[in-house]
Amino acid sequence: MKRKMILLCSVAALLAGAVAWGLWGPMKTSRIAYVKLGEVYNDFTLKKELEQKLISVQTTRKTILDSLELQLKMLYTSIENNAKLDEKERLERVQRFEALRGEYQAKQRMFEEDNESTTKRYTDQIWKQLNEYVKSYGQEEGYSYIFGADGSGGLMYANDGDDITGAVQAYVNGRYKGQL
């Protein structure tokens, strides 16, 4: 009887082990890592190129506005400091001043709106490309998960050994430049 009980317990233990192995044994371990999003984003070549492009456009626009502002100041000064002007000539200059001021304000508004929309469009384009490259990197390197650490609290702690920021930076810039 005691022998039968031991045999029954052994068979039950073997069955339980087999079931456990069947459920959890073949599970692969997930490869998990994280990247520092700010570093990857700021080092991305596409971001740097688009940033330079935006700065160039903004500089050109500032030059246009500065030129209009200088014209406004000169016209204002000529109106204020020239007592010899007859009423008709004074009125013409005031009208030119008002028209130029309207043009300046319209361009300033238009430039500000366009700068904002261009910045948003560029940012969206950069993140879309980065997400595609990080996904591709994760697939090629066999990662199950790559988390983005951005200081928002989504990733509160991670072991420095799981930080693949440098490798991802090199990969996304290599992909963007067509080197990979």
The per-residue pLDDT for 8 is 43
Tell me how far apart the alpha carbons of residues 133 and 113 are, in angstroms, rounded to a whole number. 30
DSSP, residue by residue, 41-94: HHH-HHHHHHHHHHHHHHHHHHHHHHHHHHHHHHHHHHHHH-TT--HHHHHHHH
pTM: 0.72
Tell me how far apart the alpha carbons of residues 132 and 21 are, in angstroms, rounded to a whole number. 36
Task: Provide the CATH topology of domain 31-176.
Answer: Protein Binding, DinI Protein; Chain A (3.30.910)
Tell me how far apart the alpha carbons of residues 2 and 12 are, in angstroms, rounded to a whole number. 15
The per-residue pLDDT for 136 is 93
pLDDT digit string (tens) for the chain, length 180 residues: 555 545 444 444 444 444 444 444 455 578 899 999 999 999 999 999 999 999 999 999 999 999 999 999 999 998 888 878 788 898 998 999 999 999 999 999 999 999 999 999 999 999 999 999 999 999 999 998 999 888 777 775 677 888 899 999 999 999 999 998
> How many Cβ atoms are within 10 Å of 59's Cβ, its own excluded?
10
Give the burial class of 106: count Cβ atoms within 10 A of its Cβ; 0-12 exposed, 13-18 middle, 19 or more buried.
exposed
> How many Cβ atoms are within 10 Å of 172's Cβ, its own excluded?
27
N residues, the chain: 180
| Of 143, 144, 140, the residue nearest 180 (C-alpha) | 140
The per-residue pLDDT for 1 is 59
Q: At 3, phi and psi to the nearest 5?
A: -65, -40
